[in-house]
Amino acid sequence: MSLPQRQDLTLFSDQSVLPRELLNGDGHHMFLVTSTMATQPLWLLTALIETKIKGAPLSLNGSAARRSENPATQEMKTPVVVASFLHEHSFYHQALQKLRINANAYKVVDLLTGFVQKCGGKPRDVVLKELLEQFTPDSQSTILIEQPELLLSLLDGLTSDELNQKFLQPLRKKCNLLIVSSSIDLFQDNENDPLDGSRGAVEYTRFISSLIYTSIVVMNLRSLETGRAKDVTGSLMISRGGQAPAGLSVHVVENEYLYLTEKESTRLFYR
Amino acid sequence: MASSSHNPCILLKRTLSLADPSAFILNCDSISQTSHYLVNEVVHNISSQATPTIIYIAFENLNRPTYATHFIDVNEVGIAKVADTVGALLPTGGSPTREKNLVIVDSLNHIALSNLGSFVSSLVNPHCTLLATLHKDLPEQQASRECDNYPSAETLLQYMATSILDIEPCLPPNMDEEELRSSLDKFHIPKSLNNPTFKVTFTNKRRSGRSVIHTLIVDTVKHSYELASNIAEESELETPEMLQGLTTFNLSTSAKQKEAKDQVALPFLEAQSEFAGGTAIVYEYEKDDDYDEEDPYEDPF
């Protein structure tokens, strides 16, 4: 059986994933990646980091890989910070090493290890401030943060608005592009059993909705509605977020890809 | 024929150009269609006027829009000082010049319900129009629901607003509202939402207290507004092709048959025309009738 034609990942109308205009501008933009347990976003996150560091998602795009010898695509040397509430340093080092990314080009911040020991008993504001201090402001940098919604459970009484105002907004101000990866497992398969109106569910819904309103691109990884297939892992839906890329001449191109994750690589193709 | 001030398209155009004195325009939006394009449309409409002052109060947005003359980041200024900061930027005294000054609030959802009324009223000013957005699909904070009988943020703001623009997407033909809702409940955002063309349910409250509701399709690329019902009617006109192949019976009518059908005089129409000059009840006395002239309730005529 022959596989369908491999497609390049593009998010914007200039066929790019991260338009130069966006990275060189002085704005504070946000991308959102939503995923579930069945569709882990690691390949997409590493592809976005790779795009920032090398200029194109070489691991995904067949055609871009051929252009990689071109020095013009290798000039972006601005810092990338990967902060995670889910994975430790070695996890990202290994994943990025596979893509042949130099470990000096990025920094991994492990936010969860020892969190309870360090932050136990401290007021919420202090904890969020201390977390923020781990990021140095740089108007050209990109920060990727994995599952910040865990703070809603980790800090007693934290509301979605507090998390946004006291952590994510200041974090957005510290960089040029903030990529937030969030899990939307809670909202799947609720057709027969709707979410209760408990405080936790309300805050979580508010948090994810607010993220969508503030981002310019929403990348949603979902599993196939028909079940499992050998030749498809899931689908990647690219849709416009609540904000338009203000002041940019490019716009987000909506698209739906199917993807297949194999042992070493991920391939994208059209539906 | 309705006069021009009753034409919903012109009324919406006047509202979006701030030509009608409206103190507080409320946008109700959702993830499927955010108010972004509508706000840009208002800015486009007023930008032809001489140097409007546009103050942008940002709860969510961190990037100053190119059209904003002043940008207030609430996180930096603090919510308590927003009204004073805005007041200092607007002219004081003199005759009201509402059409020249616009105050935009990107989201009212992040204000505690108990402070919402006072926040909005502190921004309403005779010298400006307040254009504020409320996200309909963001559940309300539970902490702010101290009193059970206090209205929800949406009800409260709809009561305060002088014009309400309820924004919905124009759905692609292969999707219905139920499908959209179930996708969005899972945070799966379907394609072709957040388009430059969308549906607006426009509530215009008049000074008399009467409010008029119209549904319009707004195209922000061509800057044209059209009544949604006109478009719906056009697409629902019955054509003979629609009836083909449904059954083996012949359900369609030819042009000649249609003409003959129109000419049939319906009996009830004739019955109505007999009394075209008005009707009267004539009471005829009979010999057994007991009529008392003194009794005021006896004779209703």
What single-letter DSSP state applies at residue A72?
Answer: G
Q: Which of B191, B211, B236 is at the close of a domain?
A: B236
B222: CATH: 3.40.50.300
Residue A151: band (very low, low, confident or very high) from pLDDT cuts 50, 70, 90: very high
Q: Residue A130: is its pLDDT beyond 70?
A: yes
Q: What was the pLDDT predicted at B47?
A: 82
Same domain? B101 vs B248: no
Whole-angstrom Cα distance, residue A84 to residue A90? 12
The first and second tokens of residue A203, run together, are 């805050």
Helix (H, G, I), strand (E, B) or coil at B181: helix
- Mean pLDDT of the A144-153 span: 93
CB proximity B60 to A under 8 Å: yes
Render pLDDT for B128-140 as a digit per residue (tens, 0 to 9). 889 999 999 888 8
State yes or no: pLDDT of B111 exceeds 80: yes
- Residue A144: CA atoms inside 13 Å, Cβ hemisphere, count? 26
Asked if the structure places residue B294 within a domain, the reply is: no
Q: Nearest Cβ partner of B34 from A161, A210, A242?
A: A242
Q: Which residues of A touch B140 (CB under 8 A)?
A: 202
CB contact under 8 A, B186 and A184: yes
Do B206 and B262 belong to one domain?
A: no
The pLDDT of residue B97:
64
Same domain, B253 and B139: no
Cβ pair A34:B187 closer than 8 A: yes
**8 Å CB contact of A240 and B143:** no
Residue B23 reports pLDDT greater than 60: yes
Contacts of A210 (CB under 8 A, 6+ apart): A160, A161, A164, B60, B138
Q: From A189, which residue of chain B is nearest by alpha-carbon distance?
A: B186
Contact B186 A187 (CB under 8 A): yes
Backbone angles phi and psi of A165, in degrees to 5: -70, -40
Residues A150-169: what's their mean pLDDT?
Answer: 91
Is residue B90 within 8 Å of B122, Cβ to Cβ? no
User: Measured between beta carbons, which residues in chain A are less than 8 angstroms from residue B65?
Assistant: 246-247
Are B257 and B118 within one domain? no
Half-sphere exposure at residue A29, Cβ-oriented, CA atoms within 13 angstroms: 25
Give the whole-angstrom CA distance, residue A125 versus residue A119: 11
pLDDT at B3: 47
CA-nearest residue to B35 within chain A is A242
CATH number of A20-65+76-188+195-270: 3.40.50.300
In degrees to the nearest 10, what's the CA dihedral of A146, A150, A154, A156?
130
| Residue A189 distance to chain B (closest CA, Å) | 8
The answer to whether residue B53 is domain-embedded is yes
**So what's the pLDDT on residue B27?**
93
B202 and B248 inside one domain: no
CA of B170, closest CA in chain A: separation in Å? 15
Which residue in the set A169, A213, A247 is minimally distant from B62, CB to CB? A169
**Number of Cβ pairs closer than 8 Å across A and B?**
95
Least confident of A25-34, A60-69, A184-193, B63-72: A60-69
Based on the domain organization, do B203 and B260 belong to the same domain?
A: no
Provide the ipTM. Answer: 0.86
Residues B255 and B204 in one domain: no
- Average pLDDT of the residues in A154-170: 91
Q: What is the mean pLDDT of residues A41-50?
A: 92
Strands A142-146 and A29-35: unpaired
Question: CA A243, CA B37: separation in Å to the nearest integer?
Answer: 10
Domain count, chain B: 2
The percent of residues in chain A predicted with pLDDT above 90, rounded, is 41
CB B99 within 8 A of CB B18: yes
Average pLDDT over residues B34-49: 87
For B261, the domain range is 243-272
In a domain, B292, yes or no: no
pLDDT, greater one: A91 or A55: A91
A237:B192 CB<8 A: no
Does residue B67 have a pLDDT over 80? yes
Q: Do B135 and A213 make contact, defined as CB atoms within 8 angstroms?
A: yes
The type of residue at A102 is: N
Is residue A72 pLDDT above 50, yes or no?
no
User: What secondary structure letter does DSSP report for A184?
Assistant: -
Query: Is the confidence at residue B72, as pLDDT, over 50?
Result: yes
Residues 160-179 of chain B with CB under 8 A from chain A are none
Same domain flag for B105 and B164:
yes
Q: Which of A133-137, B65-69, B87-91 has the lowest mean pLDDT?
A: B87-91
The yes-or-no verdict on residue B26 having pLDDT over 80 is yes
Residue B254 and residue B219 share a domain? no
pLDDT value, residue B164: 93
What gap in Å lies between CA B33 and CA B196, rounded to an integer?
9
Domain segments of chain A: what residues? 20-65+76-188+195-270
Percentage of chain B surpassing pLDDT 90? 20
Q: Which amino acid is at B57?
A: I
Question: Would you call B4 helix, strand, or coil by DSSP?
Answer: helix
Residue B15 binned pLDDT confidence (cut-offs 50, 70, 90): confident
In a domain, B278, yes or no: no
Find the largest Cα–Cα distance for chain B: 93
- At residue A239, the pLDDT reads 92
For the segment A225-243, what is each residue's pLDDT rounded down to a tens digit?
A: 887 788 888 999 999 988 8
Smallest Cβ distance to B191: which of A165, A199, A239? A239
Same domain flag for B250 and B148 = no
Same domain, B162 and B251: no
Strand pairing report for B163-169 and B197-205: antiparallel
Which of B211, B236, B261 corresponds to the end of one domain?
B236
